[in-house]
Amino acid sequence: MAEIEGGVRSIAVPSGLAAVTHPLLALCVTGDHVLIADCAYGPTRSFAKETLRKLGVEVEFFPSDAASIKERLRPGTRAVVLESPGYYTMEMQEIGAIAAEAHAVGALVLIDNSWGFGASSMFAHGVDICCTALSKYASGAGDLCMGSITVADEALFRTLKTFLANLGTGVSSDEAYLVMRGLSSMQVRVREHADRALELARWLSVHPAVSRVLSPPLDTDRYHERYTRFFRNGNGLLSVLLHETGIEPLRAMIDGLEHFRIGASWGSPHSLVSITEPAASREIDQWERGRYLVRLHVGLEPFELLKEDLERGFERLTLKR
């Protein structure tokens, strides 16, 4: 893991969420201040608002597309949590600039790098801790739960290793083996997912049912320039805003899909679809209430079948109006 991420040492933990939450628990104490990108994974947000605040840690969210957070930093800021691109909405932060600002006040920079695992070098941009859900492309089969914490220096590794040992946190040897097996084919699989997702994004971007495609690898995406600086390739994820905004038509659309299965995770050979309302969970970012977003994970099924599946779904949207 350390070699793939470009870090010094890595620790395996039971889930991707644990990879984010455990470093924050290990490093933050009562009175500390933590900054978190507003696009962060929902359970990460819940942990911050419910658990960290209960422990006396001040939690503050910042805009998901931030180029700078200098005005939000303070001497008591202990950690800055990035997620770039965002879990559903694909916003990207200016990672290098934010890391430099955070280090100037003594804060550590942690990134949920599940999207960019194997396609980025976050430590080269100043990140201190890379957290990854190995349940995704690393395993490649969607049949296990595991995460990894990779760090920039040995001292930080020892701090986290001791904390995790004291908690009794570990992973099974069987699941570790399955991840190691999956890593041998990960690069080939991810590139295939990425090529298919980009082709689908181009098709969707000109489809009359689609208002906007959210996909940083797409050259018309508002975050494409940042994507080219921080990532070597994409993956199978993209999100879509449709002209139709009603929840019932959207449910009719996805309920009838045959090849896109309803599911929140991603990284297996199977195509997945889910819907979310970004405004329901945001503190800072401006999203319209009642505006739903459809996220797709493009799997390895025959590509034309996936397009036909979505086309039939768009037809159901029209029938439900």
For residue 291, what is the domain's CATH number? Answer: 3.90.1150.10
Q: Write the DSSP symbol of residue 48.
A: I
Asked if 29 and 160 sit in the same domain, the reply is: yes
Helix 247-255 vs helix 303-320: crossing angle, to nearest 10:
140
pLDDT tier at 2, thresholds 50, 70, 90: very high
pLDDT tier at 321, thresholds 50, 70, 90: low
Provide the residue range defining the domain that includes 308. Answer: 185-318
Residue where one domain finishes, among candidates 146, 176, 206: 176
Count structural domains, the chain: 2
Asked if 74 and 125 sit in the same domain, the reply is: yes
- Of the candidates 182, 215, 210, the one whose C-alpha atom is nearest the C-alpha of residue 196 is 215
- Of the candidates 44, 105, 43, 41, the one whose C-alpha atom is nearest the C-alpha of residue 69 is 105
Q: What confidence tens digit (pLDDT) does each residue in 177-216 have?
A: 999 999 999 999 999 999 999 999 999 999 999 999 999 9
**Mean of all residue pLDDT scores within the chain:** 96
Query: What does the pLDDT read at residue 47?
Result: 98
Residue where one domain finishes, among candidates 148, 176, 204: 176
Contacts of 311 (CB under 8 A, 6+ apart): none
Residue where one domain finishes, among candidates 176, 209, 227: 176
- What is the average pLDDT across 76-102? 98
- Do the Cβ atoms of 135 and 16 come closer than 8 Å? yes
Asked if 230 and 270 sit in the same domain, the reply is: yes
Query: What does the pLDDT read at residue 244?
Result: 86
Asked if 113 and 21 sit in the same domain, the reply is: yes
Asked if 94 and 58 sit in the same domain, the reply is: yes
Asked if 68 and 217 sit in the same domain, the reply is: no
pLDDT tier at 245, thresholds 50, 70, 90: confident
Asked if 159 and 190 sit in the same domain, the reply is: no
Asked if 146 and 208 sit in the same domain, the reply is: no
- What is the average pLDDT across 217-222? 98
- What is the average pLDDT across 4-13? 98
- Residue 46 scores a pLDDT above 80: yes
Domain harbouring 95, CATH code: 3.40.640.10
Q: What is the pTM of this model?
A: 0.96
Q: What confidence tens digit (pLDDT) does each residue in 105-125 have?
A: 999 999 999 999 999 999 999
Q: Residue 55 and residue 45: Cα distance in Å, rounded?
A: 15
Query: What does the pLDDT read at residue 320?
Result: 58
The residue assigned the tokens 């001791």 is 162
Query: What does the pLDDT read at residue 317?
Result: 86
Q: Residue 299 and residue 266: Cα distance in Å, rounded?
A: 9
- Kindly report the number of other CB atoms within 10 A of residue 109's CB atom: 25
> In whole angstroms, how far apart are CA 299 and each of 88, 140, 180, 304?
17, 11, 21, 12
Both tokens assigned to 21: 């939450």
pLDDT tier at 318, thresholds 50, 70, 90: confident
- Residue 220 scores a pLDDT above 80: yes
Q: Which helix (H) or strand (E) holds 275?
A: strand 271-276
Query: What does the pLDDT read at residue 264?
Result: 87
Asked if 172 and 208 sit in the same domain, the reply is: no
Q: Residue 196 and residue 200: Cα distance in Å, rounded?
A: 6
- Do the Cβ atoms of 231 and 90 come closer than 8 Å? no
Asked if 171 and 189 sit in the same domain, the reply is: no
**Amino acid at residue number 210:** V
Q: What confidence tens digit (pLDDT) does each residue in 151-176 have?
A: 999 999 999 999 999 999 999 999 99
Asked if 97 and 206 sit in the same domain, the reply is: no
Asked if 288 and 222 sit in the same domain, the reply is: yes
Asked if omega into 217 is within 30° of 0 (cis), the reply is no
Contacts of 174 (CB under 8 A, 6+ apart): none
- What is the average pLDDT across 32-47? 98
